[in-house]
């Protein structure tokens, strides 16, 4: 066989590096899509005339967890899941930082049928909730209390809970019940987005890394919370 058809070790290594780079670029693209979708979801909630409580109280939040697409499906046995990003307010400077990437997963049993997709926004109202989210995983309910936020143009309520959650639902489900939901840090997505191994505290507390691709999301959250 002619040697021109054989790949030299150097060319093979170069081809492998190019393939790995292409894979990293694809992962980055998927992460950027999530960040962009999270920004769209955030703005949807901020413009919704039914979300007055959310709009009036987001300035008190220590963080905002945004899931552009939570899928709930099943027949008898079901569950819901999706990806989310978390941005938080630095306690010292007041600046918003992030995002860190998370996964959401809930198992449920009971009569249900069909598929529904919701977008979700959750306010992190207490230090307890924030600290729980900075760990590798947290189960909402047992580890951090969560309640559905008041809805309506004239909604006024003193909600006392660690997390206040809102969802826009499409399909046969009326909404998402977050009790029992496991929120876990997505280490591979964080590494892909920031191009190095980083933990949630690295991103959100120590602020040792930054990706300007998230600046629009951070800017929109900052402007919304400054309207108090």
What is the reported pTM?
Answer: 0.80
The set of residues, in sequence order, having a beta carbon less than 8 Å from that of 206 and lying 6+ positions away, is: none
Report the pLDDT value the prediction gives residue 81, as an integer from 0 to 100. 77
User: Tokens 């307890």 — which residue?
Assistant: 128
Give the helix ranges, DSSP H, for the chain: 9-47, 52-57, 127-134, 187-194, 200-204, 215-225
pLDDT tens, position by position, 196-218: 999 999 999 999 999 999 999 99
Q: What whole-number distance in Å separates Cα of residue 109 and Cα of residue 31?
A: 31
pLDDT of residue 74: 56
Please tell me the number of Cα atoms within 13 Å of 101 on its side-chain side: 25
The average confidence (pLDDT) of the chain is: 81
Q: Is the pLDDT of residue 98 over 90?
A: yes
**In this predicted model, what pLDDT tens digit does every residue of 160-197 receive, in sequence order?**
789 999 888 754 334 456 778 899 999 999 999 999 99
For residues 203 and 84, what is the distance between their CA atoms, to the nearest angstrom? 15
162/146 Cα distance (integer angstroms):
6
What whole-number distance in Å separates Cα of residue 44 and Cα of residue 169?
A: 13
What confidence tens digit (pLDDT) does each residue in 34-78 have? 999 999 999 999 998 888 889 999 999 999 999 998 876 655 555
Name the nearest CA neighbour of 178 among 200, 163, 157. Answer: 163
Backbone angles phi, psi at 154, to 5 degrees: -110, 20
17 within 8 A of 23, measured Cβ to Cβ = no
Give phi and psi for 57, each to the nearest 5: -115, -5
Q: What is the pLDDT of residue 77?
A: 52
User: Helix 9-47 crosses helix 215-225 at what angle (to 10 degrees)?
Assistant: 20
């Amino acid at each position: 066989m002619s040697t021109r058809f054989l790949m030299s070790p150097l060319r093979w290594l170069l081809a492998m590096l190019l393939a790995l780079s292409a894979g990293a670029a694809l992962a980055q693209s998927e992460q950027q899509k999530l960040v962009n979708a999270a920004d769209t979801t955030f703005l949807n909630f901020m413009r919704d005339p039914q979300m007055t409580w959310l709009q009036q109280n987001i300035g008190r939040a220590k963080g905002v967890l945004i899931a552009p697409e939570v899928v709930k499906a099943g027949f008898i046995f079901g569950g819901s899941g999706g990806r989310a990003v978390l941005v938080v307010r630095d306690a010292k400077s007041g600046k918003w930082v992030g995002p860190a990437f998370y996964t959401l997963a809930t198992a449920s049993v009971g009569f249900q049928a069909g598929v529904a997709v919701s977008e979700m926004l959750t306010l992190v109202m207490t230090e307890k909730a924030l600290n729980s989210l900075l760990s590798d995983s947290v189960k909402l309910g047992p580890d951090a209390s969560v309640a559905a936020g008041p809805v309506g143009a004239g909604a006024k309520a003193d909600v006392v809970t660690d997390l206040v959650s809102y969802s826009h639902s499409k399909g046969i489900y009326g909404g998402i019940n977050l009790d029992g939901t496991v929120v876990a840090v997505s280490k591979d997505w964080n590494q892909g987005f920031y191009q190095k191994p980083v933990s949630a505290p690295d991103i959100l507390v120590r602020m040792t890394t930054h990706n300007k691709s998230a600046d629009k999301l951070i800017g929109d959250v900052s402007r919304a919370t400054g309207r108090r």
